[in-house]
Chain A
Amino acid sequence: AQSVTQLGSHVSVSEGALVLLRCNYSSSVPPYLFWYVQYPNQGLQLLLKYTSAATLVKGINGFEAEFKKSETSFHLTKPSAHMSDAAEYFCAVSRPGGNQGGKLIFGQGTELSVKP
């Protein structure tokens, strides 16, 4: 069975500081992993995805994530936080297709605050 754990429901950083949002996964098969961002009163927007190619994945808005199989992790980073990065971030693992079809399993989300 697939599952995702996001460590820390709330992370606060200063503008210009490193952003690190943690995600650990559990999967019985090689996983596909995703990071989504949700701004207030909006839907989820795909930031980046890992689909078994390069382990370091670059996404939009300067974010990147590294797949580490030995640590079962897929942490999201950005070298320098911007005020506009304040949002909620969701890590997700994909359940492979079958009779019921594939679906995404989401973590509980991490709210990122950016202080001026």
Chain B
Amino acid sequence: ETGVTQTPRHLVMGMTNKKSLKCEQHLGHNAMYWYKQSAKKPLELMFVYSLEERVENNSVPSRFSPECPNSSHLFLHLHTLQPEDSALYLCASSPGSRSIYEQYFGPGTRLTVT
């Protein structure tokens, strides 16, 4: 595997379910990000992790819970979601978060909440 991978690619869940999104980067980077991409809206940065420490949380509802066990893996745990949470969730990584680096994106997880 190369680059940034995300699983699953598609997920349909009910509002009472609990599920997790997984992201893995194979680039040796130190920073990882979660974004939400909704139709007709700009990308929304949700969380930033740098060296496994959460350095940014953009007022994301508590029904989204990130986890970064090491610098290569990032999870987004989901519970009691709402239909408006349906979106494409993108993971990205960069060499660091405290400098100005480009980010490398995974293919995304298309989430549908029913």
Contacts and interface: CB of A to CB of B under 8 A. Distances in A.
Contact of B98 (A101, A106, A109): A101
Interface of B: 4, 6, 31, 33, 41-43, 45, 48, 50, 55-56, 90, 92, 96-108, 110
A51 interface: yes
A94 B95 CA distance: 14
B80 to A, nearest CB: 27
Contacts of B102: 34, 46, 49
Interface of A: 32, 34, 36, 41-46, 49, 51, 90, 94, 96-98, 100-104, 106-109
A106 B4 contact: no
A interface, over-half SS:
loop
B105 A100 contact: no
Contacts of B6: 43
Contacts of A94: 100-101
B42 A43 contact: no
A102 B97 contact: yes
B109 to A, nearest CB: 10
B97 A42 contact: no
A109 B45 CA distance: 15
Nearest to A106: B43
Given A43-B90, A100-B56, 15 more contacts: A42-B107, A43-B92, A43-B107, A44-B92, A46-B104, A97-B96, A97-B100, A98-B98, A102-B96, A102-B98, A103-B45, A104-B45, A104-B103, A107-B42, A108-B41
3 closest Cβ contacts across the A-B interface? A101-B97, A43-B105, A97-B98
A36 B35 CA distance: 15
